[in-house]
């Protein structure tokens, strides 16, 4: 995977290349952990559907609790330091799981604590990373830089989840999670190679006013902007509805269909193929039909795909569900490249941390809500009910962008320049 993407980074500034390497390491560990944590809960700790849903909620609850203040702190702090600290914290937390399993002391309570605390670290790390990118590459190269990062992430997702499923099946989920600790350590090491003077954002204006005023400025910038508000609404809807499906997929695979972790990993890997295709095709698609249309038209095209996921079964229906999952991920891959670049382009440097934090709050908060609803539906109705509600709702998530000024935006370069 590295050999495919790495040559494209040679024309980028050296600090960006280190960020790229750190992102690659983090992505590999995340994809393994994404599968290993719920499989560990179901297969080792005999978790109920409600407990699986709670795990998913706690994994994203930090974004509801600390995202907004994290944006203020990131705008006040050297972003490199924030990213390194977040990586070290995640490494220590993930390492505690195989150690506790080896000592025969692992409990569902520890899993709850680990996913909650790693979520807090991820808030700071992700907000800092997205806010750092315009400093490293300049606003005119944001689409290209985000396309490279997301293409790499999608490539890793294909191999990472498929390999992760096999790794969990061969070694067991506790040992597979040890990989997360190692990858976060590698990420921190790569980030230490960036010179502190470059990472500190020399010349970047610091936010003014009290903490509460700074926080509310970021929220107003997102919700009061006619371009950012519909993006936030559409993306939150996508996260909520897709998570209604993903949270219950391990339960459906392992208990209802009787398939193993390897099959689940391969199925989720199909989403990586879709995300990769989306990241690769986002720029040419946007150049051909316009950035605005590229944000909503793919949603219309893949609207029926969620129903294929909800109809998942063994045999041919498993393949059809995999195709539906791939189509949904393709739409997300296209949207991620375009919307992240647009958000970074229309936001002043001094507000980047708070803008990204506000989006994280809304988008990952939607994931938490989706996971909670999935757990309740799985526990008191059925896992299939959660899949169907997610599928029907996902078919409507393109509407906020379609009904906004973004609908006909041809090129973000046409937008007024923002102050640095």
DSSP string, 285-319: HHHHH-HHHHHHHHHHHTTTHHHHHHT--STHHHH
C-beta separation of 106 from 45 below 8 A? yes
Instruction: Work out the pLDDT band at 117, boundaries 50, 70, 90.
Output: very high
What's the pTM? 0.68
C-beta separation of 343 from 294 below 8 A? no
pLDDT in tens, 171-222: 777 777 888 888 899 999 999 988 765 444 444 555 566 777 888 888 898 9
Residue 47 in tokens: 């978790």
The more confidently predicted of residues 275 and 327 is: 327
The answer on pLDDT for 259 being more than 60 is yes
Instruction: Work out the pLDDT band at 231, boundaries 50, 70, 90.
Output: very high
pLDDT in tens, 71-92: 888 887 888 889 999 999 999 9
**Rounded distance between C-alpha atoms, residue 46 and residue 40, angstroms:** 8
Give CA angle at 154 (323, 110), nearest 5°. 100
C-beta separation of 342 from 225 below 8 A? no
**Rounded distance between C-alpha atoms, residue 321 and residue 104, angstroms:** 38
The answer on pLDDT for 121 being more than 80 is yes
pLDDT in tens, 137-150: 777 777 778 778 87
* CA 291 vs CA 111, 248, 341, 414: distances in Å: 41, 33, 11, 11
Q: What is the pLDDT of residue 397?
A: 92
Could you tell me where the DSSP H helices lie in 193-260? 196-199, 211-223, 228-246, 249-251
From 45, 54, 47, 115, select the one nearest 371 (Cα to Cα): 54
C-beta separation of 110 from 97 below 8 A? yes
SS3 content of the chain, % helix, strand, coil (to 5): 85, 0, 15
Instruction: Work out the pLDDT band at 2, boundaries 50, 70, 90.
Output: very low
The percent of residues in the chain predicted with pLDDT above 70, rounded, is 90
**Rounded distance between C-alpha atoms, residue 54 and residue 347, angstroms:** 35
> Which of 48-62, 123-137, 174-188, 312-326 tops mean pLDDT?
312-326
What's the alpha-carbon Rg for the chain, to the nearest Å? 20
**Rounded distance between C-alpha atoms, residue 374 and residue 50, angstroms:** 8
From 164, 349, 152, select the one nearest 262 (Cα to Cα): 164
């Amino acid at each position: 995977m590295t050999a495919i993407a790495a040559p494209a980074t040679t024309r980028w500034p050296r600090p960006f290349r280190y960020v790229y390497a750190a992102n690659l390491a983090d992505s590999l560990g995340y994809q393994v952990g994404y599968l290993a944590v719920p499989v560990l809960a179901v297969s080792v700790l005999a978790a109920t559907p409600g407990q699986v849903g709670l795990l998913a909620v706690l994994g994203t609850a930090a974004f509801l609790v600390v995202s907004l203040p994290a944006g203020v702190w990131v705008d006040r702090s050297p972003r490199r330091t924030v990213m390194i600290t977040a990586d070290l914290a995640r490494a220590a937390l993930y390492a505690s799981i195989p150690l506790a399993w080896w000592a025969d002391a692992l409990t569902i309570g520890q899993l709850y604590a680990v996913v909650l605390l790693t979520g807090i670290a991820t808030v700071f790390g992700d907000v800092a990373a997205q806010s750092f990118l315009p400093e490293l590459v300049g606003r005119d190269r944001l689409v290209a830089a985000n396309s490279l990062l997301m293409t790499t992430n999608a490539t890793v997702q294909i191999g990472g989840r498929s390999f992760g499923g096999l790794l969990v099946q061969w070694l067991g989920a506790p040992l597979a999670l040890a990989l997360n600790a190692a990858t976060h350590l590698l990420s921190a090491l790569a980030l230490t190679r960036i010179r502190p003077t470059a990472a500190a954002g020399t010349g970047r204006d610091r936010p003014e006013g009290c903490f509460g005023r700074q926080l509310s400025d970021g929220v107003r910038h997102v919700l009061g902007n006619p371009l950012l508000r519909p993006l936030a609404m559409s993306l939150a809807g996508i996260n909520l509805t897709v998570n209604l499906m993903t949270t219950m997929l391990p339960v459906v695979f392992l208990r209802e269909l009787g398939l193993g972790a390897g099959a689940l990993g391969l199925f989720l890997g199909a989403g990586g193929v879709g995300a990769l295709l989306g990241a690769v095709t986002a720029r040419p698609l946007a150049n051909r039909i316009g950035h605005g249309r590229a944000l909503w038209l793919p949603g219309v095209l893949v609207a029926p795909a969620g129903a294929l996921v909800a109809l998942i079964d063994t045999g041919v229906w498993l393949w059809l569900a995999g195709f539906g999952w791939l189509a949904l991920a393709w739409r997300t891959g296209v949207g991620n490249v375009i919307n992240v670049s647009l958000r970074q382009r229309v936001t002043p440097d001094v507000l980047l941390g708070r803008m990204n934090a506000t989006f994280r709050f809304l988008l990952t908060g939607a994931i938490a809500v989706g996971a909670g609803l999935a757990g309740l539906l799985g526990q008191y109705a059925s896992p299939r009910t959660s899949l169907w509600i997610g599928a029907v709702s996902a078919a409507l998530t393109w509407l906020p962008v379609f009904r906004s000024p973004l609908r006909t935006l041809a090129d973000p370069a046409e937008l007024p320049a923002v102050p640095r």
